Amino acid sequence: MIICRIEAGDSVKSNTKTPFHFDLKKAKKVFRFILAILLYSVCLIMLLVFAILIINFIDERRNLSKGITKPSLFSAYTIVSPSMVPNIKVLDVVIIKRVEKEEDIKKGDVITFNSTDYRYSGVTVTHRVIKIDQTNEGKYLYTTKGDANNTTDASRATFDNIYGKVILTIPKIGYIQYFLSNMLGWTLIVIFPAFCVIAYDIVKLVRTIRKDPKNRNEEEKRKKEQQRREQEQKQENEKVKHHMISQPIKKEKKEEKDERRRFE
């Protein structure tokens, strides 16, 4: 047997677990932090979309004034397949810029184009250019391939089918887009926070109004007026009650007097 002597000042560890205490202040801070991240993300997406729309509108008006029809100057696409992993992952968002000339597209560039492949005809594809050929007429043909694919695309892209070249990749923003596309996500991310902000502002406004000295004086005046009216009503009720009690007494006294007169 080993005996351990505990000197004064030594601490003894207890096996009993401390009860769980819910810290409301910390929970509020965590909730506000998560809510701020979500709101900032939504605002970032909205600002990005708004900026692209404005730029494209100005560019389109300028092209129409010259009688030229071109694709949008800037566009954004959400990646939905893993063909470009690991460089571009599923639900990443790519920002593309329109290419003005055929020779501006170089080998190694990632382009977004309308596929003419019989397997994906009409589908918008984002793949990397691995080879560039030129026909006798001077027309450029671009051989493309997904970074994660083992083979090249069956058909080559032409300049007329290319929307633009990828200039920026935003990771995982597509998750927010996907979440906002259903009613639950829209309610939780947009409607509910907006309702909370409005409710908080209303409560804050009411508290400010109550703390205002002018409003406080008016409230005190109303209370005093109400008390005065209650006091007057109480006095009036007491008078009516006293009058109702005094009437039978007077009647009895009168009857007694009449009775005495008869005996006299």
The answer to the question of residue 248 being in a domain is no
**Boundaries of domain holding 130:** 71-179
**What is the rounded CA–CA span in Å between residue 193 and residue 42?**
12
Say whether both 136 and 148 belong to one domain.
yes
Based on the fold, state whether residues 99 and 75 are members of the same structural domain: yes
User: Residue 134 domain-assigned?
Assistant: yes
**Domain check: are 194 and 123 in the same one?**
no
75 and 171 housed in the same domain: yes
Q: Is the peptide bond preceding residue 86 cis, with omega within 30 degrees of 0? A: yes
Per-residue pLDDT for the chain (264 aa), expressed as one digit of tens each? 344 443 444 444 445 555 556 677 787 788 778 777 777 777 777 788 888 889 989 998 888 888 888 888 999 899 999 999 999 999 999 999 999 999 999 999 999 999 988 877 889 999 999 999 999 988 999 999 999 999 999 999 999 999 999 999 989 888 877 777 778 877 777 788 778 878 888 888 887 777 666 656 676 777 778 888 888 888 777 776 666 655 555 555 556 666 666 655
Same domain flag for 106 and 170: yes
**Co-location of 202 and 151 in the same domain:** no
Same domain for 80 and 150, yes or no, is: yes
Residue 217 lies in a domain: no
- Number of folded domains that form the chain: 2
**pTM score, whole prediction:** 0.59
Are both 150 and 202 inside the same structural domain?
no
> Domain boundary residue among 136, 161, 179?
179
If asked whether residues 136 and 198 sit together in one domain, one would say no
Is residue 139 domain-shared with residue 191, that is, in the same domain? no
190 shares its domain with 165: no
Question: Does residue 119 lie within any of the structural domains?
Answer: yes
Q: Is residue 89 part of a domain?
A: yes
Angle made by CA atoms 149, 150, 155, in degrees to the nearest 5: 75
Q: Give the domain CATH number at 102.
A: 2.10.109.10
| Claim to verify: residue 189 and residue 172 sit in the same structural domain | no
DSSP output for 105-172:
--TT-EEEEE---TTSTT-EEEEEEEEEEE-TTS-EEEEEE-TT-SS--SS-EEGGGEEEEEEEEETT
